[in-house]
Structure 1
């Protein structure tokens, strides 16, 4: 009975999210409240056991830092500099954005990258009179593909890295980096083919006006500029080295945000900074965690996961491919973080049964969960963040419209990943 109630609430909530007529945070919060009303769990259990507060705190901290840094004009400076660099050409900008997002997502993490990049991108789009949708889709997809390459690039990889003690930063780069480069190359080409008419028809400003642009004029050269950039740079370095420093990403982000709030208090009070935080996005995450937590509490995700053992009978190749495709498909519709959390003990169970080689199963889970996040706006944290920021700038990303493009990219990514796993680990 409980499972039926949970599934009904989840499906109805998902239908309303698909219709995209009501605020996402309101839908997610209502679904979460219904879970509590029907006794699936209490509020205490829902908020303490199923909401990933580390992710919420990380997002909040990055939003605070970006809000403060934005006052210095650095984002406008970067936007105008890149406009001059590509001479206002929409296609060149499209490819530059894709590459920059993928590299940034690998070196930092994809949520941080899109939080830093999307405000700059939206400013460029406004300056060049371009359609925002193709570029925003490019950012979302490139962030998830690029984030797949490293242990810190995407939350599922962080979880896998913590679950397997002998995996380090270099292991992820060696095993996932090559296929990520291949997938991103194919992805960029496919996205260009799908959006080429929109890009070619985009109205661009006159070349003469572009040459007259002076990016330096947008900078507000005050102590806050140097202080905020220094803190951001140190934060990025700490993110990259967090494994060696033995400090969690969330701790680094919170300390950096607090430091930035302290140094900027004289320029703008913390109350004003907090007003600029994307609260709608944060509340949507909380509601979504509770919704998926209901599926976990009812044992539905675990049941799906353990069914794989019956299907594959513990055979390594079959198990790797089943995990890859199931993670890739389900992660597009159920946030990949709780799905990976439920799959980690399953693979550990395979390991206890003596299945060899076991490592391909971990890499298949990482590829499927991270790449499958492109399937819908709910598939990965970065997707929700981009949609939230874009919405506040008047650029709405429609759920079904994005899914049309995202699912094609996921299919292509999974096919290429299948070939890669077969060639690298089993042939």
Structure 2
């Protein structure tokens, strides 16, 4: 690497480290990092603007608006009561149920959307049962981030894999005569949740105290609740069938948000609903600007070709020993995507693996090991998966306190390591080893 690459890498590393430590406001830190890259000359202010995925920003704001209305309907409290009853009064099992639901939803829906849908369900329970809200919301965030690669619809990595390899929806369930992403991740998810239950949640509180908790399950205005729920479901369905509609996800999300605002404002006093001003002010604009800055930061790093240099160094390993190459790719990816937003990293290596196929190297075992480790490893920190920043922000706002790095890692590290280990064993047994001639 030349001096300019080292300098930019240093700025990026310092910025991400400060974000991870979480002692200074993460949004301010990320914006400072972008400004530093611009003044150094790595990119212009125009290039920084264009590096931002504004389609994702539209998704974020649009769904936040819909989720904010949904959170005011009383439906989350009602769902909380049903989850409480299903758990049999055991708070640890309740957390597992909410996490499982979040993971299943994220198969079809963006992980940020899933967190925004599930947080209003979890927070009333946390308040009533006096459970640490941050831990519950973080588990929802980990779970939502976990299952996005199970099918083609849930997250960006499987969509990038489709673009590079041409894989279709069914290939994520069964491919080349063997189970692929959906069944392997479902087994991994079940084992991970079971581990977290016995490791952390089994003794969360006494069942008797839970059963005596008073949770409001009343829906004040059924008409408003029905409108909010229908708008949210229609928007999610529109996003799930985005290819058939042939429009951007952000446009679908913003259309749903605008339609929701118009209906509520037109019906006026007939609904017991918050005003648009209340919804607008309640949005977490810090998180929006954090996303904007993170896209620019990762784009600035990508312009230096540092990630491409890393891919070039690993390339000979795949041709000499596929099992060793797949193992190194998997376990090197996990800590990297814990610090670097995983989408750019995954895309770089998808093309590298595609080029390896020209030399006769089996590509699918490597592609699967890449997207699985790239997804699971991103749960290590909020820098790897910005969706976790949303979850962390919700939890900190609810609790009224900052979460230290040590506390965050005490949850993220065991979750990520167990999930990564289980998925690695399954991936090697089902995909890598059978591909070695």
TM-score (norm 2): 0.88
Matching of residue 405 in structure 1 with residue 411 in structure 2: yes
Question: Shift of residue 209 of structure 1?
Answer: 5.2
Residues in 2 aligned to 1:252 and 1:299: alpha-carbon distance in whole angstroms = 34
Task: Summarize deviations over 1:13-66 as a string: whole Å, max 9, x none.
Answer: 233223322111011111111111111111100110x22222221111110111
Residues in 1 aligned to 2:98 and 2:415: alpha-carbon distance in whole angstroms = 17
Q: Given the superposition, is the C-alpha separation of residues 44 and 221 from structure 1 closer, same or farther in structure 2, using an over 3 Å criterion?
A: same
Aligned with 2:425 (options 403, 414, 419): 419
Alignment length, in residue pairs?
419
Question: Shift of residue 315 of structure 1?
Answer: 5.3
- Aligned-CA RMSD value: 2.3
Residues in 2 aligned to 1:256 and 1:389: alpha-carbon distance in whole angstroms = 23
Residues in 2 aligned to 1:164 and 1:243: alpha-carbon distance in whole angstroms = 17
Matching of residue 290 in structure 1 with residue 296 in structure 2: yes
The farther-off stretch of 190-199 and 292-301 is 190-199
Residues in 2 aligned to 1:161 and 1:60: alpha-carbon distance in whole angstroms = 26
Aligned with 1:335 (options 335, 341, 344): 341
Give the structure 2 partner of residue 18 of structure 1: 20
Aligned with 1:377 (options 375, 382, 389): 382
Question: Shift of residue 208 of structure 1?
Answer: 4.7
- Does the residue aligned with 1:194 lie in a helix, a strand or coil? helix
Give the structure 2 partner of residue 38 of structure 1: 40
The equivalences for 1:241-390 within 5 A come to 241-266=241-266, 267=268, 268-313=274-319, 316-351=322-357, 353-390=358-395
Residues in 1 aligned to 2:287 and 2:393: alpha-carbon distance in whole angstroms = 6
Q: Do the aligned residues in 1 keep the contact of 2:133 with 2:399 (CA within 8 Å)?
A: no
Give the structure 2 partner of residue 59 of structure 1: 60
Matching of residue 27 in structure 1 with residue 29 in structure 2: yes
Residues in 1 aligned to 2:240 and 2:410: alpha-carbon distance in whole angstroms = 34
Give the structure 2 partner of residue 139 of structure 1: 140
Q: Given the superposition, is the C-alpha separation of residues 246 and 170 from structure 1 closer, same or farther in structure 2, using an over 3 Å criterion?
A: farther
Task: Summarize deviations over 1:322-355 as a string: whole Å, max 9, x none.
Answer: 332222221111111111122222122213x233
Give the structure 2 partner of residue 170 of structure 1: 170
Unaligned runs of 5+ in 1: none
Unaligned runs of 5+ in 2: 175-179, 269-273
TM-score (norm 1): 0.90
Residues in 1 aligned to 2:333 and 2:210: alpha-carbon distance in whole angstroms = 47
Q: Given the superposition, is the C-alpha separation of residues 292 and 413 from structure 1 closer, same or farther in structure 2, using an over 3 Å criterion?
A: same
